[in-house]
Structure 1
Amino acid sequence: MGLREDLERFREVGDERRQDLKEFIRHGNLGGSGPDSIQIPIKIVDLPEFAYDQLDKGGVGQGQGGTPDVGQPVGRPQPGDGDEEGKPGEEGGEHEYYEMDPEEFAQELDEELGLDLEPKGKQVVEEVEGDFTELTRAGPNSTLDFEQLFKRGLKRKLAMDFDEDYVREACKVAGVTPREVFEWARGERILVSQAWIEDAFSDVPEDERGTWGSFEEMMENVERTTTLQRIRRDGLQSVPFRREDERYRHPEVVEKKEKNVVVVNIRDVSGSMREQKRELVERTFTPLDWYLTGKYDNAEFVYIAHDAEAWRVEREEFFGIRSGGGTKISSAYELAKAILEEEYPWAEWNRYVFAAGDSENSSNDTKERVIPLMEEIPANLHAYVETQPGGNAINATHAEEVESALSDTGNVVVAYVKSPEDVTDAIYRILSTEDGED
């Protein structure tokens, strides 16, 4: 194996040694990735190279013939490394990261955390004809379903057929009338018409009338056969078909639905949300955005920042904003509700509403406004992420109040993140809580 093959092999090993996904989410540089490209650092392996032993004397390259000796200054670098003198070359260097798209990220996160989120399709994008599985009462002859026709006719035969010889024997009972034979047949659940009995009664020879003293005597001496027994014995001679038995195959109309989602990310930017808390929000929300982008055909994101008031921002601003104001979380949910109702109707969009902060809120705002608003906003999932490094503050009660009031609803989850090590557990808790009902 030559040096070139060795180099390629070491590059492959480097790709395989990319940073663990959990480690990347907890401690990696998330800001180096974009919405459509996640860049995960590779643990670099040193590539092989030749090295000369620096001897005191003798040997090639040890100062003979004007070549600089070991430790001797060699002067300024000479032109030649770039395209022109003094200008750097244009050839790119080695990228020290593994690049994946959101779909691959979502698949790997599923495997890493044991998730199994199945996106729902809501918005109908087109209707197409599927298999001929629907049945109608009318249609062209070429689509007549003979199997259905035969089944319905056979079902009627089995329900209406009776042992004619058995009923003829009942007509031979002494002293009976056709009406009495008909009533006996009904009592025995034999579906025969009175007109048929009258015809059969008139056909009984005179010398056979009075063969049986009673219906009971006849039933004890004459064996009654079932329809299936007669079919096995004599074969199926005919099946009574009727017009109403006809069914025609029709193509099923299949609605192709786009799996689309809108994610509303809400962040507290008040004065108490210092740098460490903001970083924990970013480490939780960014992988959630990547994951849902990879899971859905079409994913859109709304970013809302709030202190005592709320306003809509771009993603680039979302994680860096810091305000000196107070906190009123309900302002963000009021804005989220208005945006969702106007731009993302529940009948057409899957909705995720993720909020994060340090659980500090103005007095009574959580109980009086936030919880009712969360109940009013239809969503696949509402999540609140509390970021309190080192433990809870005395007045940080928002998460507990939400959890206490809404934890049994099936689509509300609260997660607590005190350090980067808690981030992946919070992501798992959020994504594994989604209610299965629309």
Structure 2
Amino acid sequence: MKMRYLPHTQEDIKEMLEVIGVDTVDELFEAIPEACRNKEPLNLPKAMSEWELNAHMDALAATMAPSSEYRVFIGAGSYNHHIPSSVPYLLSRQEFATAYTPYQPEISQGTLQGIYEFQTLVTRLLGMDVATASHYDGATGLSEALLMAVRKTKKNKVAVSALCHPFHRDVIRTYMGPAGIEVVEVPYGKDGRTDLSALEVMDGIAAVAVQSPNFFGVVEDLQSFADVIHAKKGLMIGSFTEAISWGLLKDPGSQGVDIVAGDGQSLGIPKSFGGPGLGLLASTKAYMRQLPGRLVGTTTDLDGKRGFVLTLAAREQHIRREKATSNICSNNGLCAMNAAMYMASLGGSGFKRLAQINHNKAEYLKRKLVEAGVEIPFASPTFNEFVVKFPDGFDKTYDRLLSKMIVAGLPLGRFYPELEGHYLLCVTETLSKIDIDQLVKEVTA
């Protein structure tokens, strides 16, 4: 059903104000301090016709570089992958085109079944027992996982690897600060991996969060961290930004991880200049009731027919706020459906083959750069991205490559000052051998 947007008339506004007992709309904002109110008219441009507005937007678009025309060797949490044509077609059907979990599940069986299939595919991918109906993005999912650990262990301190995505760590601090939860950072070592020995001397830790592949693209030994944190009576939380990696690597569940949180943007969701993402959150059965958000399950009705229901939904709208496990009211329903369609389209063997292609292409670039004399500072195994150290003055080469529509990685100095002059390079199946060879030729010219 489509609804028209009907703005209120002055008569409508007057009538509503009379009902609530105020004379003007401005009175509704009296609680806002005078110093915080804008008393000047908004500086808006004059109104445009439809054709003028189209021309204006075209002019704005022309100031940006269309990503499809560039060879972009950047991942860092947002990855470019081919998307089967079946996915956007199916997703556009009106039965699926909603961003929310249904509030009246008994009349939304199709949507609930789609979410149930999504949860099933996520648990298989991550090797866990149960998955939620998705979250806003990987950062919020990881923050919620740490809050789960605090509630479960009754400890007020969490450890987070310095190689978790920098943006994810920012969100974690935003979550934990107001709650009075201490966040300690686990540094990384010369091998590009999180320093396990640093965790071994920490006490009073509710959980440790380790990303694998980490922000440097390096594959972490999650089992070793799980052994250490379990000995300290804490929880092991695994995170990730590149979901395709689990088509090739050992899943987190087989490495002693208690809770897994990551971003599912790679699962058929376009990069779209930074969004949207998709928060994946899964755990073992032991922590199922601590999971925030919703869980969809299957049952049978009075006639013995199979049906789908919201089995667990410990949210502030359903129970007392102080007992809710999350303040997130809506999941990324449409993105979750997108990811389920993508995983189903690839299938198990297709997913594994795609992961292998990503790994092989990145290794090909790494080998070619080493042959050309470029330094690879971390020798540890990586997935589809890795760190390189280019010679001093590479920033000029970087700008020259931009003029040739090549983006030669992400400068790491912004996030890790000690890595000034280092770049994070990423290769997925969308880049050809010709693209890779051209990059090597240009950066070593």
Greater RCO (CA < 8 Å, at least 6 residues apart) = 2
Q: Same fold (TM over 0.5)?
A: no
TM-score, scaled relative to structure 2: 0.27
Determine which structure has more spread, i.e. the larger CA radius of gyration.
Answer: 1
TM-score, scaled relative to structure 1: 0.27
